[in-house]
Chain A
């Protein structure tokens, strides 16, 4: 157990210490708050795709449902106004419910088809959020949203540092809970489905129920991420903030970081979101400061390279280091054999010589 915990503990230790030792600027806080929020979404996807092997290309939908759920339940343009913490909790419940509703009819589908269905669900959710304007304020988004309060103390939006630590703590709790599941009967059942669905079923593990629980758990975590995303901005933003790009960002996070590995998800979030929020911004600033003014050259703006970078990241990682930056490792493994890169199998038992 010791060797495994380290990368995760390291992450949290470093993250906790970072603002204290480095001159933390607004950019730094923005970036890391984004990193923590998307780490949550990635964590949810990791449960569904990394642990259980079900490719989900619509994670943004659950993030959106969490954000909008939180907003509707807490914003004062609606009568509910249940406050930050209850809002957070219920947004997770909404995510879980959505996971169940989507999963129930679809989890029998094979990998490719399930991926497409999740993508479709992502689109449908987006459209519904845009179109049901009376409920969701359409493309305006819902704002303002309440502050988190602890005891009597309320964390204002400008209090970047407190938000930073709040998000870090919530992320930490989520990681701990997911870790509990991973290292238990529940998690093993999930992993067994990913490894070999048929063998898993022949061991007595009910495939549909186990997948549903993975799906619902993952969606709940992503929904909480969404709720925090909205709370951070004090607005849900427009529905397009939760489009296919976001789903792919989540996918990049877990693939680049290491599928099936919680530490990998955390590192993946740092790399992918950090690149977006820190590196690209820095490059843009630097280019801007080199006196080119507002260049109309499309190649000059780093933002225009995002898709390319995502795409290359995916292809290169899958080709050169398929297990990701921080591959999952085994328990108590001072001397264990390094794990094989994750392979996917078709669900049908293989033939070989017929008997």
Chain B
């Protein structure tokens, strides 16, 4: 009994953790390259989910069955990824790049502003008069996301531990993505340019790297990951709301800091920890204290080890 419950929490925690990881990587990549906490990232993720729901409604994806469902999922992944990538890139171009010379506070404030604008877009989107949005009547209310991926327990109907196609979906999408990302960062010229720009933008420019394009590419990739995450989240949790970006963003940012901001493996590790902590807290303590615990971890990490679990404490020559 006890062990089953534990395993259940483990699975839930890991699945949620992987979703958070995709978002966390977005935060950590952007911070690593321009030292900006992209507040808008979580809300970007939220809009990706709203787009996914729109696509479901527009193409009637909830009516596709069997093998068609998986085609539908792929379609959603592609659409949201492209949308979020483009949106992220646009935000960088329009709201962040012009302010790069004005100092970090201006950038941060701009990010907060962008975040708020996106939230409002989500609110408006919820009022879209489509059936999937419940006719657009209660724009602010959470929306149901059709269960395109079934909830059947793969371990057998009487097993107390539930492993569903949803969990497989999570891992099936996130793992290849992370491998792909690792490949990009370590094996391609772009990846090298990204790492160089992150370490020393001036030197990178002197070496002929177009740092503006590299930064744009970083936002593209980060955005795409957020888009993927949004679809998986929607399919996993079957509900979306215009305020989900805030919570998810906080979790993801905590994960990124926990693992060491700027470090991609750190973001993943941190996200898994956060996912597990959430699951264990929900399961063994009380749900209402879970947020406090997560934020508490964030505060404690920042106080005692700001460089995070996997980050290094490099002494900078000044």
Contacts and interface: CB of A to CB of B under 8 A. Distances in A.
A103 to B, nearest CB: 11
A233 interface: no
A342 B105 contact: yes
9 contacts: A55-B108, A106-B302, A296-B127, A298-B126, A304-B139, A314-B110, A319-B98, A343-B102, A344-B103
Given A298-B124, A344-B104, A346-B104, A109 B306 contact: yes
| Shortest 6 CB-CB contacts between residues of A and residues of B | A298-B127, A311-B116, A314-B113, A298-B139, A311-B117, A307-B120
A116 B298 CA distance: 9
B168 interface: no
Interface of A: 53, 55, 57, 105-106, 109-113, 115-117, 119-121, 123-124, 127-128, 130-131, 244, 248, 251, 255, 296-299, 304-308, 310-315, 318-319, 322, 341-346, 348-351
A313 B117 CA distance: 10
A248 B227 CA distance: 26
A244 B105 contact: no
Given A123-B291, A304-B120, A345-B103, A255 B115 contact: no
Nearest to A341: B102
Interface string B107-137: 0111011111111110110110000000011
A123 B136 contact: no
Nearest to B303: A105
B268 to A, nearest CB: 20
A187 to B, nearest CB: 20
B120 A306 contact: yes
B303 A322 contact: no
B35 interface: yes
Contacts of A346: 104
Contacts of A121: 295, 299
Of the four ranges (under 10, 10 to 19, 20 to 34, 35 or more), the interface on chain B belongs to 35 or more
B289 interface: yes
B156 interface: no
B108 A112 contact: yes
Contacts of B140: 304
B186 to A, nearest CB: 27
A46 B298 CA distance: 25
Nearest to B139: A298
Contact of B114 (A110, A305, A315): A315
Given A124-B296, A318-B109, A308 B316 contact: no
Nearest to B253: A116
B187 interface: no
Contacts of B317: 351
A308 B116 contact: yes
A117 B297 CA distance: 10
Nearest to A106: B303
A283 B126 CA distance: 22
Contact of A310 (B113, B289, B306): B113
Nearest to B113: A314
Given A343-B103, A349-B318, A318 B306 contact: no
Nearest to A244: B246
Given A131-B288, A298-B126, A322 B102 contact: yes
Contacts of B139: 298, 304
Contacts of A307: 116-117, 119-120, 123
Contacts of A341: 102
A128 B292 contact: yes
Contact of A314 (B104, B116, B303): B116
B42 to A, nearest CB: 12
Contacts of A53: 105
Contacts of A311: 112-120
B55 interface: no
Contacts of A111: 104-105, 108
Contacts of B318: 348-351
Q: Which of A109, A298, A346, A349: most chain B CB closer than 10 A?
A: A298
